[in-house]
Amino acid sequence: MGVAISDLVTGLYATISILAALRHREETGQGQHIDCSLLDCQTAAMANQAANWLVGGVVPKPMGNSHPNVVPYRVFEVADGHIIIACGNDGQFQRLCQAFDMKDEATDPRFLKNVDRVLNRQAIDDLIEERTSKMSKQRALELLEQHAVPGGPINNIPEVFEDPHIQARGLLKTLERVDGTAITAPGFPVKLSETPARSDIAPPILGVHTQEVLQEMLMLKQDELDILRKKGIIG
């Protein structure tokens, strides 16, 4: 997916651990050491895939964007892009069959129960994509919504930030840097009623704190900084 997801997940686990440690300190007055491993957190985040092996003895295989335990639950091609269909239970599958006029599939014993659809994954996925590939993204999503079937568009990055929901929630923040240029980035995604998160400081430009660090932490004098600057060592 192009994102360092293990780093992000480990940060979240670390935050939860810090909060738990602070709570323990409040109750007992004792601090503690927190050992947070990237590998451990990544392994814990395997969730249902870990359970497939540990409980069911099934070795998961690469499946692209398909859900390993629920069918149909993946990305499907439409005439002008892609959508995701996420049928989480048998009732939703029946409504999907109504939405896409799949009367035969609704009563086919291969597809009646989720366990059957998992065993016949390729067959039902192909039959669904035969229909979605002839529809526009908008039409396919309209049918899903009309029949209360979970689904949504697969957006590119510009489309994500143009989404009315993202804009209404005020997720994007634009901040001014010290050189007067503006930078836009996602803000904190959680809304706190009493202590809302603030994003007031823009990411620093390269070298903006060099002199401050060298003077306050390394105790360099101004004439020493001037020499480093003349030699091109600092900007």
Interval 162-218: pLDDT, tens: 999 999 999 999 999 988 999 999 999 999 999 999 888 888 888 889 999 999 999
Percent of the chain with pLDDT over 90: 91
Share the mean pLDDT of the chain: 95
Q: Residue 93 above 80 pLDDT? A: yes
Q: Which of 7, 40, 80, 101 is catalytic?
A: 7
The SS3 call for residue 120 is coil
CATH fold group of domain 73-154: formyl-coa transferase, domain 3 (3.30.1540)
Q: What is the rounded average pLDDT of the residues 70-93?
A: 98
Highest mean pLDDT among 46-55, 89-98, 166-175: 89-98
Q: Are 225 and 211 in contact (CB under 8 A)?
A: yes
Q: What is the largest CA-CA distance in the chain?
A: 85
Which residues lie across from 186 on neighbouring strands?
A: 172
Query: From CA 68, how far away is CA 197, in angstroms rounded?
Result: 37
Q: Which helix (H) or strand (E) holds 81?
A: strand 81-86
Distances (CA, A) of 206 to 173, 178, 227: 21, 11, 20
Domain residues of the chain, as ranges? 5-45, 73-154, 167-230
Residue 1: predicted pLDDT: 64
User: Whole-prediction pTM value?
Assistant: 0.76
The SS3 call for residue 220 is coil
179 labelled catalytic: no
